[in-house]
Homo-oligomer: A and B are copies of this chain.
Amino acid sequence: MLALMPTRFRKAVCLGALAWALWPSAHAFADTAAGSHGDPVAPLVMSLAIILLAAKLGAELAMRVGQPAVLGELVFGVLIGNLTLLGFDRLAYMKTDAAVDILARLGVVVLLFEVGLESTVAQMMKVGTSAFLVATLGVIGPFALGWGVGALLLPDASVYVHVFLGATLTATSVGLTARVMQDLSRSQSNEARIVLGAAVIDDVLGLVILAVVTGIIGAAEQGGSLPIGALLLIVGKATAFLVGSLLLGVWLSPRMFRIASRLKARGVLLALGLAFCFFLSWVASLIELAPIVGAFAAGLILEDIHYRDFADRGERTLDDLMKPIGAFLSPIFFVVMGMRTDLRALAEPAVLGLAGGLTLAAIVGKQLSMLGVVNRGVDRLVVGLGMIPRGEVGLIFANIGLGLHAAGKPIIDGNTFSAVIVMVIVTTMVTPPALKWAFSRSVRAPAPEPESVKQPAP
């Protein structure tokens, strides 16, 4: 990789690598730096400096080989996170650092808000049927295939294990696809809207599936019955949130900004927009949806026309104000996601068979979702590929499985858990190049020229 770079650039990288190797651990250093100020921000700023530089270096290399920037951020994250395998563990603290973690999470909230701002509720409604069908088929496909793979490769395990494995493959992780669409300047395409809408619905379906599966297993173990009431409550709460927040938001947003536009304080538009995003993220988490679902909904609801008063007096639009914040925070999420990818999971022979089966089931199964597209002129393959990433949701499922038991054995054991991790790694890594390829082969969509969008307008 180094050989491909121009000399001067290579020199800089080598110097950087040298400086890095000579440094004592940033964290240990920062700890001793408590001194008279003892500011806990010291280790964080050091971590952020490293993460931001890694993100940009990764993004640059990815783009030079024609890939979305986020792939480079992930890969450089993986490299940093797995330096421990080479005996270099000075940066390993970043994988578990609470401050880095919270900024990464804030980064993906801000990203989904940004992406939501690029579409309106009306535009989402137009692809609503497709999104719903895509979500439903995208759950059925991997569920059935995952169950089958479980039955085939773990014949001795109980049927509950097979069902649970199927469930683990269902949920789509929306953050990565949102970011790839942004990198490719396609966030405003119908394909992106269908995938993002479907991923939101997936989040609701995931809640339901988790409740059903754990309910069935619990009932089987303790002889109770399936908690139908609890299930209905979950579906009801989640639906009420999605519909309610959209209706309330659509009513409230223009009024809120009309009042706010009378304020003289600086930065009112940005503060109010962010507060709205954060508030809906929190409400989403209250009803056990992912906070990013709320952030995306907030972005959809807020529309340029609501804050026209601000634009009329020469202030920037909210999209514009959010860009630097997203550019700062969202790479943190992807570098950290990469860092937490333990490559050793890929090197366990005992696991690889099951891992391969699950990964195939996850990828192939999600392609069923493309049949759900009813809108015309939509590239079905882009939708199918966009639904691939599983991200952290699969891991959350698997984690719950570690604590569940059927016939005295845990539903998910250590090996199965490792196989799920491999599935998450592979689905995350294949999505950026797959989407890039799918868009580039598509001649139908009259896309904006990506190169011209790279540089924001003056």
Task: Judge whether A36 and B263 touch: CB under 8 Å.
Answer: no
Complex: how many Å from CA A35 to CA B286?
A: 8
Query: Given A36-B400, A271-B55, does the pair A282, B327 have CB atoms closer than 8 Å?
Result: no
Task: Judge whether B52 and A275 touch: CB under 8 Å.
Answer: yes
Complex: how many Å from CA A458 to CA B320?
A: 11
Query: Closest CB-CB distance, A243 to chain B, in whole Å?
Result: 20
Task: Judge whether A30 and B458 touch: CB under 8 Å.
Answer: no
CB neighbours (8 Å) of A456 from chain B are 314-316
Query: Closest CB-CB distance, A90 to chain B, in whole Å?
Result: 14
Please tell me the number of chain A residues within 8 Å of chain B, measured between CB atoms: 87
**Is A89 interfacial (CB 8 A cutoff)?**
no
Query: Closest CB-CB distance, A234 to chain B, in whole Å?
Result: 10
Task: Judge whether B259 and A109 touch: CB under 8 Å.
Answer: no
Complex: how many Å from CA A259 to CA B10?
A: 11
**Is A266 interfacial (CB 8 A cutoff)?**
yes
Task: Judge whether B278 and A46 touch: CB under 8 Å.
Answer: yes
CB neighbours (8 Å) of A325 from chain B are 324-325, 328
CB neighbours (8 Å) of A9 from chain B are 259, 262
Task: Judge whether A105 and B457 touch: CB under 8 Å.
Answer: no
Q: Which among A105, A207, A265 has the greatest number of chain B C-beta atoms within 10 A? A: A265
Query: Given A56-B267, A98-B98, A271-B52, does the pair A37, B289 have CB atoms closer than 8 Å?
Result: yes
Complex: how many Å from CA A105 to CA B43?
A: 12
Instruction: Classify the secondary structure of A's interface with B.
Output: helix
Q: Which of B29, B262, B400 has a CB less than 8 Å from the CB of A286?
A: B29
Query: Closest CB-CB distance, A65 to chain B, in whole Å?
Result: 12
Task: Judge whether A285 and B52 touch: CB under 8 Å.
Answer: no
CB neighbours (8 Å) of A314 from chain B are 455-458
Q: Which of B45, B60, B64, B270 has a CB less than 8 Å from the CB of A291?
A: B45
**Is A226 interfacial (CB 8 A cutoff)?**
no
**Is A49 interfacial (CB 8 A cutoff)?**
yes
Q: Which among A45, A46, A279 has the greatest number of chain B C-beta atoms within 10 A? A: A45
Given known contacts A6-B262, A45-B285, A60-B263, what 18 new A-B pairs fall within 8 Å (CB)? Answer: A29-B286, A33-B285, A33-B287, A40-B105, A41-B105, A41-B106, A41-B285, A42-B282, A42-B285, A45-B281, A45-B282, A55-B271, A56-B272, A267-B324, A270-B324, A270-B328, A315-B456, A315-B458
Return 5 A-B CB contacts under 8 Å, by A number.
A30-B282, A41-B105, A44-B105, A49-B278, A271-B328
Chain A positions within 8 Å of B, measured between CB atoms, are: 6, 8-9, 12, 26, 29-30, 33, 35-46, 48-49, 52-53, 55-56, 59-60, 63-64, 69, 72, 98-99, 101-102, 105-106, 109, 206-207, 210, 259, 262-268, 270-272, 274-279, 281-282, 285-291, 313-316, 321-325, 327-328, 331, 396, 400, 454-458
List of 8 A-B pairs having minimum Cβ-Cβ separation, nearest first: A35-B288, A42-B285, A41-B105, A267-B327, A45-B278, A59-B265, A49-B278, A46-B282
